[in-house]
């Protein structure tokens, strides 16, 4: 049997907010590392005694100073690493791949890290339709369904539309929102054994 393969990727239409957040996170991370270095220097140079051997500030004051600089150093390092990693999360894109009856959805962070979110065989697909349909509104209103938006955009590009797929996942029923060309939906429907298209889909 010939393998069926169809893939689409959706990227951000407007990258300005992502670039701004990326810059803010990068600058803040650098400041955190600078403060961590300053804290480390102060930690190493905290005096413990005077030249004649008598306590300079007392054991209690020394301990407090040591703890404060130590905590500040560690927290700045942790914060800087966190910001360096998270700065890539603002550049989001998604890949939708249909391979011989199986739909795979992946999230891509800044073209660096790919994470597989869903891997759905055709028997897991329950309903397919357009996001603005009455069926979609009813499904979304049901407490049994949770929505997962799989696009970084709030408006679809000229050659794409917002579609939904209701699917049975390991975490329960999900309404998966796609920004894709109609060809992806038609490909899924062509190779799915059941009629899962919403009733009003072709009324537009």
The string of pLDDT tens digits covering residues 73-108 is 999 999 999 999 999 888 999 999 999 889 999 999
User: What pLDDT, on the 0 to 100 scale, is given for residue 60?
Assistant: 67
Does residue 177 carry a pLDDT above 90?
yes
Q: How far apart are CA 14 and CA 32, in angstroms?
A: 29
Q: pLDDT tens-digit profile of 31-40?
A: 999 999 998 8
Coil, helix or strand at residue 186: helix
User: What pLDDT, on the 0 to 100 scale, is given for residue 171?
Assistant: 85
Spell out the long-range contacts of 12-15 with Cβ–Cβ below 8 A and sequence spacing 24 or more.
12/91, 12/92, 12/93, 12/152, 12/153, 13/153, 13/155, 13/157, 14/153, 15/91
Looking at residues 20-38, what average pLDDT do you find? Answer: 95
User: What pLDDT, on the 0 to 100 scale, is given for residue 3?
Assistant: 74
User: What pLDDT, on the 0 to 100 scale, is given for residue 46?
Assistant: 63
Structure tokens at 199: 């009733």
User: What pLDDT, on the 0 to 100 scale, is given for residue 49?
Assistant: 47
Q: How far apart are CA 96 and CA 103, in angstroms?
A: 7
Higher per-residue confidence, 117 vs 44: 117
Higher per-residue confidence, 3 vs 123: 123
Indicate the burial class of 72 (C-beta count within 10 angstroms; 0-12, 13-18, 19 or more).
middle
Q: pLDDT tens-digit profile of 152-173?
A: 999 998 889 999 999 999 889 9
Q: pLDDT tens-digit profile of 45-73?
A: 765 544 444 454 456 676 777 888 889 99
User: What pLDDT, on the 0 to 100 scale, is given for residue 160?
Assistant: 94
> What percent of the chain clears pLDDT 70, i.e. is strictly above it?
90
């Amino acid at each position: 049997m010939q393998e069926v393969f169809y893939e689409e990727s959706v990227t951000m239409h407007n990258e300005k907010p992502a670039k701004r957040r990326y810059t803010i996170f990068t600058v803040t991370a650098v400041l955190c590392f600078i403060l961590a270095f300053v804290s480390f220097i102060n930690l190493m140079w905290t005096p413990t005694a005077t030249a004649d051997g008598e306590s300079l500030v007392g054991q209690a004051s020394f301990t407090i100073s040591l703890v404060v600089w130590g905590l500040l150093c560690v927290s700045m390092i942790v914060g800087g690493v966190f910001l360096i990693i998270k700065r890539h999360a603002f550049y989001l894109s998604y890949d939708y791949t249909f391979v011989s009856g199986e739909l795979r959805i992946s999230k891509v962070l800044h073209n660096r890290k790919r994470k597989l979110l869903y891997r759905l065989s055709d028997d897991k697909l329950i309903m397919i339709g357009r996001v603005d349909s009455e069926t979609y509104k009813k499904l979304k209103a049901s407490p049994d369904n949770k929505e997962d938006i799989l696009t970084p955009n709030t408006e679809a590009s000229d050659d794409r539309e917002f579609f939904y797929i209701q699917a049975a996942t390991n975490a329960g029923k999900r309404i998966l929102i796609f920004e894709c060309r109609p060809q992806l939906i038609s490909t899924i429907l062509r190779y799915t054994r059941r009629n899962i298209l919403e009733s009003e889909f072709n009324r537009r």
